[in-house]
Chain A
Amino acid sequence: MKSHKLSILLVSGLAIAAAAACGSDDSGDAGGKAGAAPGSAGPVSISVNCEPPKTNKAQRATFEEDLAAFQQLNPDIKIDKVTDAFPCYDPRTFEPKLASGELETVFYVNFPNVARLIESGQAADITPYVDEIETFKDFNSSIELFKKDGKVYGLPTDGYGMGLVYNREVFTKAGLDPNNPPKTWDEVRAAAKKIAELGPGYVGYGEYSGNNVGGWHFTASIYGRGGSVITDDGKKAAFNTPEGKAVLENLHQMRWVDNSMGSQLYIDWPSLMKAMAGGKMGMMLGAPDVLISLRNDFGGKFENYAITAQPEAKALFNGGAGYMINPKATPEQIRAGIKWIEYEFLTPGKGQLDYVRAKNANLTVGQPYPDLYRPDTPSGQAVNELRKANANIDASQFAGWVEGSKGIPPKAEPGPYAQEIYKILDTPMSAVLTRKDANIDQLLADAEAKVNALLASKG
C-alpha cells in the first residue's frame, strides 16, 4: 500500500515535470530581455557582448569609452547590458542563452559558426538595413560568408588569411635565415628537419590532430594546395585528390621519415599555441593574429615570431569573426545593433579602428588585420593609412605574409556542416601523425565515404 502511494506521488511529480516541459515556450520573447517593445516611446534598448576582459585594461577602457560616446551620439539608443564572457562566442552557452532570452542583441561569432547559424535560423536577417552602413560597399569577400540566398545575416569585423608562422630565434639557432623563410613545402620540410636536429624538445613543424582542429588545418592546407573539401554544390566530399594526398603525405614524411614533428599530439587550439610560445617549435600554420595571441595569451616573446605566406598557396583559408543580431530582436533593435557594430568596428578612425587612440593607449598597432575592406576602396585606403601612420610594432614581422599573400584568393569554410566534416578529417590527420604504417589512400577513401554519407543525410 505504502509503495502504491509512493508510486502515485512519483508519477504525479513526473507528470508535473512533463506538463512544465511541454508548456515551456521555446519560441521565447521576440524582443528578448534586451529591449523596448516595437513602437514604444523612449530609446530602444540593446545589449552587446565581447567587451574586452578586465585583464586587458587598456582595450577595455577604449571599449567603455566608445559605449558612452556612442550613446551620447545616439540618444535614441540605450545599451543597457554589456557582457565580457570569454570566449565571446561559446557554443556551450549560445543555445541556452538564446532559449532563455539571455542572448545579447548584438553577438560575436567566429567564421566557422556563421554558416551554421544562418542555416539554422539563429541570426536575424539584416538585409533591409545594410544600405545604411557607409562602408558596406567596400567590404572584401569576407562579407560573402554572412550571405545566403541574397540575404545578409551579419557583418565581418575581423578577417585574415592563413600563413606560415615561424620562430625567428629558432631559425637562427638552426642556421636558417629568418629573413628568408620557406616558400615551398620542400623548403618547410628541410627547415623543420634542421630545427629538430637542434636537440631534444625541438620540433620543426607543429600540427593539430584532434577535437576538430585537425580537420580545420587539413582544410587550410588543402585549400593552399588548390584543393577543396567539398564540391561547389556542397553535396559531395572533394578531398580525396592528389592535393589531399599531398597534405597527408607531407605530414607523414615529416613525422616518420624526418622525425621533425616531435611525438606530442596537439588536440586543441591552445595546445599548439602553448608549444609555439614555448620557444622550441619552428613553424606552424596560422593567421597573423597568432602572433599577437602568442604574446598576449601564451607568454611568447613577440619579437621572436614572424609570419610569411602559406607555402605555394593557391587559395587562403578565410579566418576571422564578426557580429550577428539576435533573431528575436525587433526591427528597431536590429537597426540600433547595426549602428553600434558600424560605430565600434567598421568606421575608419573610430572605435576599434581609431589607431591614434590605440597607439596612445599602448595597444598594438601595425598588424595587417582586421582585413575587412578591398584595398582600392576609400575605407580600405583609410584603414591602411591610419594603421601605417600609427604603427607601434615591427610591421616587418608581418611583411612576408602581406607581400606573399597578395592576390591569393580567400576560400571559405566548407559549408554549414564544417564542424562535422572537421571531426571526420581529424582521423586521417591523427593517423598520419601516430602510425608509421598509415595507409593514406585508405584513410582518404574512408573519410570521403563518411563525409559523403554525412552530406547525403543532410539532404
Chain B
Amino acid sequence: MTTASIPAAHGGRRQPTKLGRAVRRNVTAYGFLCGALICFAFFSWYPMVREVILSFQRTNFVDPPKWVGLENFRTVVNDPAFGPAWVNTALFTVLALLCGYGIPFVTAIVLNELRHARAYLRFVVYLPVMLPPAVSVLLFQWFYNPDYGLFNQILNLFHLPGLQWLNSTSTALISLVIVSTWMNMGSGTLIYLAALQTIPSELYEAAELDGAGLFRRIWHVTIPQTKLILLVMLLLQIVATMQVFIEPYLLTGGGPENATVSVVYLMYQYAFNFGNLNAGNALGLMLMIVLMVFSAIYLRVSRDNTV
C-alpha cells in the first residue's frame, strides 16, 4: 500500500506495483476465484465454523447461547451408544472398503476385457446409481425379509437355511455393507473403466510378449498405471463410508441391539430426536477431526509414494 501511494516520476502517473500488475493481468481469474471463495465461504466454511462454535455452546435458539466448554462432548462420550457407534462405523468402513473397493475394480477390468455387450453391461452396472438411495434401500428391505425375501428364497433353492439378515446382530452390519456396495459400485466401476482405457495397449502387448499372464499383466501394468486414481478413490471411499447414515436409518433403525448404530446416525438422533443440536454438533466435530487427521496422513503417505 505504501509503495503504491508514492507519486510516479513521469507526468504524475502512478507506476503500478508488481502485485498490481499481476492483479491486472489476472483479474478475470481472480473474479472466478472470488465466486468460488464466496460459495465455499457460505456453503462450506461458514457451516463448519458454526458447527465448531455450536459444539461448545448450549443454545435453545431463543435466549443468547451459553458457552459450556466440553459439556456437549462429555454428553456424547458418556452415551452408551457412543462406543458401538464408532466400532460399527469403523467395521462398516473396513467391510465396505473390502467389498466396495475391490468389486468395482475387478468389474471394471472384466468389462474392459470384454469384446461384446460392453456398453450394455456398463449400463447394467451403472443402473443402481440411478435409483434414488431410498428406493434401493426399500428394495433390499424386501430382499432381506426372512420369510419371503429374495435372498432366503435363493438360499432355499440350494437347500441352505435362511438367514435372519437385518434381524440378527451378527449379520445386520454386513447386510448394510451389501446394500451400500450395490448402490455405489456403478460410479466406481465407471471411473476405473475410464482410467483403464487410458492405459496404452502397447504396454499390455509388451507384457504379453514377455510371457506375462492375466494376473501378472494386472499386477505389473494395470495397477501401476491406475495407481493415482486408485489412491484418490480409496480416500474418497473412506470419507464417504465413515459417514454412513441412510442404510441404518432406513433399514435397521440402528438395531438390533445397537448393532448397526453409526456415528452419523447417532448424530442425527441427538440433533433431531433428542433436541440436543449442540451435542450433535460435538459428535460431528469429532468425526470431522478424525476424517481430517486421516486424510492428512493419507495424503502425506500417498504423496511420498507417488513423487
Knowing A17-B41, A26-B65 are in contact, say whether A91-B60 is a contact too (CB < 8 A).
no
Whether B46 is near chain A, meaning CB under 8 Å from some CB there, is yes
Complex interface residues of chain A between 418 and 459 (CB less than 8 A to chain B): 419-420, 423-424, 426-427, 430-431, 433-435, 450, 453-454, 457
State how many angstroms separate the Cβ of A103 from the closest Cβ of chain B.
9
Contact partner of B41 among A16, A200, A419, CB < 8 A?
A16
* Shortest Cβ distance from B78 into A: residue: A457
A13 at the interface (CB under 8 A from B): yes
B63 within 8 Å of A (CB atoms): yes
A209 proximal to B (CB < 8 A)? yes
How large, as a class, is the contact surface on chain A?
35 or more
Give every chain A residue within 8 A of B74 (Cβ-Cβ). Answer: 457
Question: What's the Cα separation between A95 and B272 when bound, in Å?
Answer: 9
Binary per-residue interface labels of chain B (130-152) against chain A in the complex, 1 for a CB within 8 Å, 0 otherwise: 00000000000000011110000
| Minimum distance in angstroms from A265 CB to a CB of chain B | 5
The verdict on A120 contacting B257 (CB below 8 Å), with A16-B41, A20-B46, A26-B65 known, is no
Per-position binary interface string of chain B over residues 33-72, scored 1 when its CB falls under 8 Å from any chain A CB and 0 otherwise: 1000100111001101110010000011111110000000
- Is there contact, CB below 8 Å, between B63 and A265? no
Please report which residues of chain A, range 112-129, place their CB below 8 angstroms from some CB of chain B when the two chains form the complex.
Answer: 113, 116-117, 120-122
Q: Is the interface of A mostly helix, strand, loop or mixed?
A: helix
* Cβ-defined contact, B148 with A95, below 8 A: no
Give the total number of A-B pairs whose CB atoms are below 8 A apart.
Answer: 133
Residues of A within 8 A of B273 (CB): 91, 212, 419, 423
Known: A17-B45, A21-B49, A453-B78. A419 touches B253 (CB 8 A): no
Which residues of chain B are within 8 angstroms of A433 by Cβ–Cβ distance?
167, 256
Cβ-based interface call for B164 (8 A): yes
How far, in Å, is B21 (CB) from chain A's closest CB? Answer: 15
A24 to B75, CA, bound (A): 25
Q: Is the CB of B45 within 8 A of A13?
A: yes
A262 in the interface (beta carbon within 8 A): yes
Q: Which residues of A contact B168 (CB under 8 A)?
A: 434
Q: A283 at interface (Cβ–Cβ under 8 A)?
A: no
Q: Which residue of B lies closest to A458 (CB)?
A: B75
Query: Is the beta-carbon distance between A28 and B62 smaller than 8 angstroms?
Result: yes
| Cβ B167 vs Cβ A424 within 8 A | no
Q: Which residues of A contact B64 (CB under 8 A)?
A: 26-27
> A263 at interface (Cβ–Cβ under 8 A)?
yes
Asked if A98 and B61 sit within 8 Å, CB to CB, the answer is yes
A450 to B252, CA, bound (A): 21
Rounded to whole Å, the gap between the CB of A347 and the closest CB of chain B is: 30
A262 contacts B272, C-beta separation under 8 Å? no
Given known contacts A21-B46, A200-B148, is B256 in contact with A26 (CB within 8 Å)? no
Q: Tell me the smallest distance from the CB of B38 to a CB of chain A, in Å.
A: 9
User: Could you tell me how many residues of chain B have their Cβ less than 8 Å away from some Cβ of chain A?
Assistant: 47
Give per-residue flags for A1-40: 1 if the beta carbon is below 8 A from chain B beta carbons, else 0. 0000000010001101110111010111000000000000
- A182 to B236 CA separation, bound complex (whole angstroms): 56
Contact between B146 and A264 (Cβ–Cβ < 8 Å)? yes
Are B61 and A26 closer than 8 Å at their CB atoms?
Answer: yes
The answer to whether B256 touches A431 (Cβ under 8 A) is yes
| B-chain residues with CB within 8 Å of residue A92 when the two chains form the complex | 272
Q: Would you call B222 an interface residue if the criterion is a C-beta within 8 Å of the partner chain's C-beta atoms?
A: no
Q: Is B254 in contact with A211, judged by CB distance below 8 angstroms? A: yes
- Overall SS of chain B's interface: loop
Q: Is A361's CB within 8 Å of the partner chain B?
A: no
Say yes or no: is B81 at the interface (Cβ < 8 Å to chain A).
yes
Q: Which residues of B contact A278 (CB under 8 A)?
A: none
B26 shortest CB reach to chain A, Å = 11
B277 contacts partner chain A, Cβ-Cβ < 8 Å: yes
Residue of B nearest to A450 (CB): B80
Q: In the complex, A214 Cα to B256 Cα: how many Å?
A: 11
* B61 and A263 contacting across the interface, CB-CB below 8 Å: no
Q: Which residues of B contact A426 (CB under 8 A)?
A: 253-255
Taking CB atoms, residues of chain B closer than 8 Å to A427 are 255, 257-258
* A26–B272 CB distance below 8 A: no
- The reply on B7 being an interface residue by CB < 8 A is no
Q: Which of these, A98, A201, A434, A453, contacts B169 with CB under 8 Å?
A: A434
Instruction: Report B-chain residues with C-beta under 8 Å of the C-beta of A210.
Output: 252-256
Give the distance in Å from the alpha carbon of A15 to the alpha carbon of B216 in the complex.
Answer: 52
Q: Are A13 and B59 in contact (CB under 8 A)?
A: no
Contact A434 B164 (CB under 8 A): yes
Q: How far is the CA of A430 from the CA of B166 in the complex (A)?
A: 11
Q: Given contacts A327-B62, A453-B78, are A434 and B45 in contact (CB under 8 A)?
A: no
Q: Decide: A328 and B62 in contact? CB cutoff 8 A.
A: yes
**For residues 249 through 295 of chain A, which have their beta carbon under 8 Å from a beta carbon of chain B?**
262-265, 267-268
A21 to B50, CA, bound (A): 6
CB of B234 to closest CB in A, whole Å: 25
Query: In the bound complex, what is the Cα–Cα distance between A21 and B54 (angstroms)?
Result: 10
- A20 proximity list for chain B (CB < 8 A): 46, 49
Residues of B within 8 A of A209 (CB): 253, 255-256
Q: List 10 extra interface pairs beyond A210-B253, A434-B257, CB under 8 A.
A: A17-B45, A91-B273, A98-B61, A121-B62, A200-B147, A201-B148, A265-B166, A265-B256, A420-B274, A435-B257
